[in-house]
A and B are shown apart, each in its own frame.
Chain A
Amino acid sequence: MTTTNATGSMAHQQIRSTEKPHRVRATMLLAIVVGALAWPPRANPQSPPPGNAEEGRQLFVRKGCYQCHGREGQGSPTTGPRLGPEPLPLAAFVRLVRTPRAQMPPYTEKVVSDSELADIRAFLETRPRAATIDALVPK
């Protein structure tokens, strides 16, 4: 697993590059096969945006997203809105993180890369839906 430093995204890439050569080759082969099967790319609005949800789970903590939005991206009435399980489309999600409109601090590519944001978004998309609270909090 990656660890971050002040230049989080660079560290992420460096540690990936230390994978054992045979694992890298196998990964490349798999990528080529998957790529070939997927070619030509289709414009399917139902297909999920790219991203690794498990990576995203860890990035969500490491990049501090949970500090305002909660561990599950559930949001807080006082610090940040709910982010999942229906996150913004990836392009809008990235745009909002780079140039937030209100109080959210800006996160540049240097701090969190586009691919990491895709992972985070994938994590948010897998968050469970809300439970009903009626048993504990009757109307």
Chain B
Amino acid sequence: MGKPTDSSVDRRGFIKQAVTGTAALTSMSSVAAAQATAPQPPASNPQENTSRESDVLTQGTSGSDYMLDVMKSLSLDYVCLNPGSSFRGLHESVVNYGGNRAPEMITCCHEESSVAMAHGYFKIEGKPLAVFAHGTVGLQHAAMAIYNAYCDRVPVYIVLGNTLDATMRQQGFEWMHSVQDAAAMVRDYVKWDDTPASLPHFGESAVRAYKIAMTPPFGPVVIVADTELQELPIPEHLNLRVPKLTLASPPQGDSGAVAELARLLVAATSPVLVADKLARTPAGMQHLIELAELLQAAVISQNGRMNFPSHHPLNQTMRSEAVVADADMILALEATNIFGVVNAFRDQLHRTSRPLTKAGVKLASITAGDLYLKSNYQDFQRYPEVDLAIAADAEATLPSLIETVKRLITDDRRRAYQERGARLAAASRTALDRARADAGYAWDSTPISTARAAAELWAHIRTEDWSLVSSAVGPSSAGWSAWPLRLWKFEKSYHHIGSTGAAGIGYGAPATVGAALANRKYGRLSVSIQNDGDLMYGPGALWTAAHHKIPLLIIMNNNRAYHEEVMHLQRMSSRRNRGVDRAGVGTTLDGPAIDFAKLAQGLGVDAQGPISTPADLGPAIKRAIEVVKRGEPALVDVVMQPR
């Protein structure tokens, strides 16, 4: 029999184990000794309120009443929420202490809907809404919508419930619904956050958050409302007051840089003004019209906002490549993607780009984006190689630029401008006429063409005070391949609400409901072109519209697919020589086809469809508008061509 090996320990190992073991025993003994000599706590933690005095079961004041007082001072019209126990104190304060007015509660079926509703509301009203959510699961639901708002530079005022003191958490789910640093998860894409430790701290941070959110560039903010602060009475020693809010005036461009920019614009032969998220108020569009008409310059709107009338003779958006190619001076106004303006990108096996501009073109930018940038999420696009960069809010800077331009224009330049303007107007008329002619193709086709649908809808809304509350632009099918921008006359600041921000799907339905909520008090006819895939992310937004009687005409763009992805699959399959017949696998919403009319009806919304014959569309829209004019949402499910 040989020596045992498995359990044997060599000398060195034995000594090491012995030493380690002794040390551990010594350590445990010392801890035990220290514990034994430490002052012993009473049988229960005094904070856990087991004494007779703490059997007081009602209260005269509540921390959340003060929190609401602060929020009321910020003129928040509504608070969107999906109810949650971590903000039950605040919830009760809004309902009873605040009388459910300013803010009034809007019941949402998902936190993503809550934030997207606030996003859409701001795009019409120019004011943020509040959102209440759990600091954990609620915020996790809300995250994508917050990112959309962040990329779109839209303020959303988010209040999160959380129980920081672990000894105050009820066993079970309250632990899963509590977090050490609630805002950490979204800190990369909110403008500011704080976790106040007292009610006075809450007051200051809540007002500060609003100020930060509403200073260009706008952005979402987060305040954590601790449950103990919400629910306990206000300590008697506190002399609480609501801090004064003074909004910061938006940053304007340096006067020297503005003068240099004016000189470049006045001297240019073919200046082009490119606007994306420029018009943050109705004044933005008026300023751009004034500058464009003063210079008789071409305007391209990237439609992040309603920047410029679609049928203005200087609007050259439909022929943007042509005017960029001809330009000797380009001014980008709150345009993130300047590289994309002056370059064409080709998505083939080897991705390439080529300049669209001629040699010697001067590029300038005015954007508050230069004042605020984060690293992780890459929404800032390619580095813009401009000749003059003005780090300022473009809308706030335009008045001084206009005045400087006026002073520099000579009579000779003015005559040249008139000739330039006439040429641009003629080109614009030609482009619009061509668009009208193109819209007539596939007129009687089934499924219905995007152009026919746009024309049918326009015929019914053009005499109304209408507002397109869905995205009118972008690479996706939102906005029916941009036909509305070609056929409809967009003239007023609320005629469309711009882009989604990050193109995160699920924005569409709740954002349109939020924008329609803002339009309601003005009596406008809110119109939404609703993508089918988007609606399936959060159909509960329809219920919210029905429940709160938000008038909204919803025309389904039902192409029964995530069609952008169909095209991506097609591109990959073609590139790899494998045929395109399976591009529908994993990308289509068919088999069974979704009956959106039944879905909407089940959620309390008047609905018709599916409609796939062009002749049936007009009468259905007419009937739906009658319902909307009674103050309710109505949906028409239209089976559409993909593009």
Contacts and interface: CB of A to CB of B under 8 A. Distances in A.
A75 B577 contact: no
Interface stretch (A21-29, A34-42, A44-52, A127-135): A127-135
- Looking at B440, B641, B643, the one whose CB has the most chain A CB atoms below 10 A away is B643
Interface in A79-134: 79-80, 82, 102-103, 105-108, 110-111, 127-133
B147 to A, nearest CB: 24
A78 B574 contact: no
Contacts of B598: none
Contacts of B583: 64, 67
B72 interface: no
A17 B497 CA distance: 56
Interface majority SS (helix, strand, loop, mixed), chain A: loop
A107 B576 CA distance: 10
Contact of A77 (B440, B458, B481, B578): B481
B340 to A, nearest CB: 14
B580 A82 contact: no
A63 to B, nearest CB: 6
Interface in B566-590: 566-567, 570-571, 573-575, 577-583
Contacts of A62: 581
Interface string B43-75: 000000000000000000000000000000000
Nearest to B477: A78
Contacts of A103: 346-348
A66 B642 contact: yes
Nearest to A69: B643
B456 interface: yes
A16 interface: no
A71 B641 CA distance: 7
A70 B440 CA distance: 13
Nearest to B474: A78
Nearest to B443: A131
A105 to B, nearest CB: 4
Contacts of A132: 440
B456 A136 contact: yes
Given A4-B581, A5-B579, A67 B567 contact: yes
B338 to A, nearest CB: 21
Interface of A: 4-8, 62-64, 66-72, 74-80, 82, 102-103, 105-108, 110-111, 127-133, 136-137, 139
7 contacts: A6-B579, A66-B641, A68-B567, A78-B482, A78-B643, A111-B577, A130-B439
Given A77-B483, A130-B437, 15 more contacts: A6-B579, A8-B581, A70-B442, A71-B442, A74-B438, A78-B482, A105-B574, A108-B574, A111-B574, A111-B578, A127-B441, A129-B441, A136-B455, A136-B459, A137-B455
